[in-house]
Structure 1
């Protein structure tokens, strides 16, 4: 099978639904409305415990259903409570997986959808090869496909700083952080594209990981516009998974949530070589750490 050289990317969104933002935004699903207006495919990874994080249970359930039924959305499991596999262990983690799609599957069935993808919180697949193999076998037995990604830009750090400035009434600094997030995302995508070209001698079908948060409600549309300006087509997650790179063996057996481009490398030395060349995000890390002291 041959693949065109056209550049493509899928948008995947973790930690859906953000019920705290929903309440703050007067029960308007701003990010979802923007995605819907753009008419692009996207995939959501759901943590059902978020439904119970505010007092508005019925409204939060309606929010989840609104995400699930959207015609452009693929639905996936992200555990119930966003637990970390390497910390909680196998038995506790599989309970969190099984609890994580009980309501989601009801809504998915209502709209003739199937929940067949799973993404690890923190992309933490275990401390060692034993934990990795154990959870892979379990997920396979449940007909789950592990959801990879190639690009992420620490939007959760940018979002924390962004919301901090908004809460302080400093819209100028907030806007600066928002623009830095857009620019850094494109810079990181260009870096991972460079890796792909060097290893595979062609553009690959990239998968972008971001989150249901305030900064994406305000800036993801600009990122998507920049992607289109750079001749990227926004394609579905399922379309991206047709790229043969995602059929490779994952040889990385640590707990850190690195890009699958790194996971497919043969040695840790090769990973480290490329990681040292990554675009610098130390400025946002410093601000994030200052805020979270």
Structure 2
């Protein structure tokens, strides 16, 4: 149980966890607070949107419908891993849910079956809608799953919660199926592993040494296994994952062929072509990646 984070504190927490944030309009003051309380908050709820296309999804989640006004969540997690903040305060995302589930979330223990709908979840949970058709066929890219993990971990860190404070809509309200396509138990395992790692240090940024990164990019593809030849590789790979250019499985500290190919795609996104998009980092392209993902670059 906690007071909700301020808009600025929420933004800082997400960025500190490595989330790529897009601020949508007047999100800081867009809410349904006139309809009821916002807080105390007890956890994070994950949904899927049953929509396709990021722009349309963000617009729907911000504005809502005639029968259900927006915001429909606090943030939209797009397939490319970007998190579009659309509201801050009470949002129409959770609806009525099971009081026994709420008690379990507060106690951070295993969830019971949800068979009641009597407690207002809109007052008690942060809500994140994930761009997905929810048909069990629409894929969940690694960048999107990583963003769900990071968003959840960021809020858990900020409030001193563990991974059991993160639930799916299907675990809260009878009859709901979202999110469909991955299990919340698997996602909570990922969140728990992230929380077990060292928390981000306030006011500090990772530093990537360009010369060491270039040496790794030239040496690693021919190396056997997945040696971590330079720790800064992980920082760059995490940024490429967040950009949707590298599969999560390859965020391993080895600047191998998959990472070279991903970095080449980043270079092309920056406007380079031909030999200038060969997957070997250059200062300008690396600086652009660093600016977007919160690390510094030195020679």
Query: Normalised by the shorter chain, which TM-score bucket?
Result: under 0.3
Bigger fraction of residues in helix: 1
Task: Compute the TM-score of the two structures, normalised by the length of structure 2.
Answer: 0.24
Pair member with larger Rg: 2
Higher relative contact order (CA 8 A, sep 6+): 1
